[in-house]
Amino acid sequence: MPVSDFEVVMGLEVHAQLLTRTKIFCGCSTEFGAEPNHHVCPVCLAMPGVLPRLNARVVEFAVRTGLALGCDIRRKSVFARKNYFYPDLPKGYQISQYELPICLGGGVSIEVEGVEKFVRLTRIHMEEDAGKNVHDALGGSAVDLNRAGVPLLEIVSEPDLRSVDEAVAYLKALRAILMTLGVNDGNLEEGSFRCDANVSVRRKGETALGQRCEIKNMNSFRFLKQAVEYEARRQVELIEAGGKVEQETRLFDPQKGETRAMRSKEDAHDYRYFPEPDLPPLILDEELVARVRASLPELPRARAARYRDQLRLPAYDAGLLVADRDVATFFDAALAAYGEGPEAAKKVANWMNGEVAKLANETGLAPPRWKLRPEHLAGILKLQDAGALGGPGAKQVLEVVFREGGDPAEVVKARGLAQVSDEGAIEAAVDAVLAASPAEVERYRGGNLKLMGFFVGQVMKQMRGKGNPGLVNALLKKKLGG
């Protein structure tokens, strides 16, 4: 039976690092990129006799996330010790939550190929991150504990996902929500947003779940796609050959494009969970929950709906804008500075999703670090509307302002990028192009009207992109005879 006769069943466990300045149980910095073992203290090094102290900001972020995702916020939750031995876990256990997590239920709405789906959540709980093992080319290993104790939210979904496309859509939707809430930076490369995938397969039409394997620590949508597709094929081939899928933890090797066994998959009893004796039960104040609820921002899905309904933006454009809270905020401010209505919104969106996004990708800069301001983008579009700046010139001004800053009008003046609307100058350029292209002129007059594009391009090239397109077209048609 081919792979197409099976379906994949997935649940994802997302680990989202919280945007706190300090760790979950001590005052050490969570800054990324410091020298190894620089942000450590007796608490996160697990020295004898030290005691954890819960970071209140972590609790607030957990409540904020749970409310945004429609979870049941538990007024009483309990921390637990998850016991396992690994070199980067100095205590020999991880402080997490088990039987009584802070959030239960909820879910994330996604859309794949025009079909909406609600992916249910099992739970959200708070926990500390482990350290990092560092291996060198000579076979040596060391441990960096800067990350030990960094606060995480683990967001666990039900096995509701049936394809890689659904999994990617779910992760992107969840990431956008967390970034909009301001609780996570969405940085996949630094590992602050990563996931484990629980993957199983079953024959289409069956309802019982197959044996699952867990693929650990994927921090790329592309790697997730490759890993799940490989793992699904592996499991199907194993079943079809008369074998049995064993429950285990696997790692994805991006170099070979395959998963490989890491260890047998533990069940909850293997971790010997028990309540953390050094932390009392967490009792939430109703006032805290109400305050956090009142502070929730407009979420990506609602914002996209507003862009579609009020601004008449296509769903694709709206989706690109709301994927990053700072980009959407920039768009709102640029539109407010530029104009009102669907036409203005579409023009600003085109530039945001086109030229601005291109420059952001090239520089790797997020909106807060752009030298381009919303009023700058609005100013460039106004100069273009007024005929003072052509399309190519507008792109040049945008790039200069994006990379160097400055007032767009001053950049136009200093760099001589103003659009030429002088009819005499344009006519001279048109005459020169027609004189240099007698064969093309004859073919055009013989009926090959597509050559108009060639003539316009040559005139604009001669005028270094500054010619007024309307005048260029009008004069060419006049000279060529209609």
378 in the same domain as 255: no
Residue 224 belongs to some domain of the structure: yes
What value does the mean pLDDT take over residues 35-58?
A: 96
Distance of CA 194 to the CA centre of its chain: 11
Structural domain for 406, as ranges: 300-415
- pLDDT band per the 50, 70, 90 thresholds, residue 419: low
* pTM (two decimals): 0.83
390 in the same domain as 443: no
Domain boundary among 269, 290, 311: 290
350 in the same domain as 280: no
218 in the same domain as 90: yes
pLDDT for 421 beyond 70:
no
pLDDT in tens, 64-98: 999 999 999 999 999 999 998 888 999 999 999 99
pLDDT for 424 beyond 90:
no
Return the ∠ at Cα 325 (arms to 323 and 330), rounded to 5°. 110
What value does the mean pLDDT take over residues 98-108?
A: 97
Amino acid 422: pLDDT: 60
136 in the same domain as 63: yes
Residue 436 belongs to some domain of the structure: yes
pLDDT for 1 beyond 60:
no
Q: Which of 62-66, 228-232, 325-329, 436-440 has the lowest mean pLDDT?
A: 436-440
Q: Which residue has the tokens 């020169």?
A: 432
Amino acid 113: pLDDT: 87
In order, the DSSP letters of 332-394 are: HHHHHHH--SHHHHHHHHHHIIIIIHHHHHHHT--GGG-S--HHHHHHHHHHHHTTSS-HHHH
56 burial via Cβ count (<10 Å: 0-12, 13-18, 19+) = exposed
Distance of CA 294 to the CA centre of its chain: 25
CA distance 149 to 143: 14
- Contact between 160 and 130 under an 8 Å Cβ cutoff? The reply is no
pLDDT for 482 beyond 60:
no
pLDDT for 473 beyond 70:
yes
CA distance 301 to 290: 22
- Contact between 175 and 219 under an 8 Å Cβ cutoff? The reply is no
Residue 244 belongs to some domain of the structure: yes
Q: Which of 89-98, 231-240, 434-443, 459-468 has the lowest mean pLDDT?
A: 459-468
> Over the chain, what is the mean pLDDT?
90
CA distance 213 to 216: 10
278 in the same domain as 311: no
pLDDT for 20 beyond 60:
yes
155 in the same domain as 112: yes
Amino acid 471: pLDDT: 75
CA distance 218 to 481: 63
What value does the mean pLDDT take over residues 456-465?
A: 76
Amino acid 267: pLDDT: 67
Domain boundary among 384, 415, 446: 415
Percent of the chain at pLDDT > 70 equals: 96
What value does the mean pLDDT take over residues 356-379?
A: 94
Residue 430: give its domain's CATH number: 1.10.10.410
Q: Which of 137-141, 159-163, 212-216, 407-411 has the lowest mean pLDDT?
A: 137-141
262 in the same domain as 309: no
The DSSP call for residue 352 is I
244 in the same domain as 285: yes
353 in the same domain as 237: no
pLDDT for 252 beyond 80:
yes
What value does the mean pLDDT take over residues 443-459?
A: 81
Residue 295 belongs to some domain of the structure: no
Residue 278 belongs to some domain of the structure: yes
Domain boundary among 233, 265, 290: 290
Amino acid 119: pLDDT: 97
In order, the DSSP letters of 82-134 are: EE---TT-TTSEEEEE-SS-SEE--EEEEEETTEEEEEEEEEEEEEE---EEE
Amino acid 268: pLDDT: 61
pLDDT for 347 beyond 60:
yes
Residue 233 belongs to some domain of the structure: yes
* Most trustworthy range by pLDDT among 237-241, 254-258, 291-295, 442-446: 291-295
Please count the structural domains in the chain.
Answer: 3
pLDDT for 249 beyond 60:
yes
Amino acid 86: pLDDT: 85
Q: Which of 61-75, 178-192, 333-347, 447-461 has the lowest mean pLDDT?
A: 447-461
pLDDT for 2 beyond 70:
no
Percent of the chain at pLDDT > 90 equals: 66
pLDDT in tens, 120-131: 999 999 999 999
Residue 326 belongs to some domain of the structure: yes
390 in the same domain as 263: no
pLDDT in tens, 266-283: 666 688 999 999 999 999
Which of 183, 161, 190, 203 is CA-nearest to residue 13?
161
Q: Which of 48-57, 247-256, 306-315, 460-469 has the lowest mean pLDDT?
A: 460-469
Residue 304 belongs to some domain of the structure: yes
474 in the same domain as 411: no
Q: Which residue has the tokens 């291109």?
A: 358
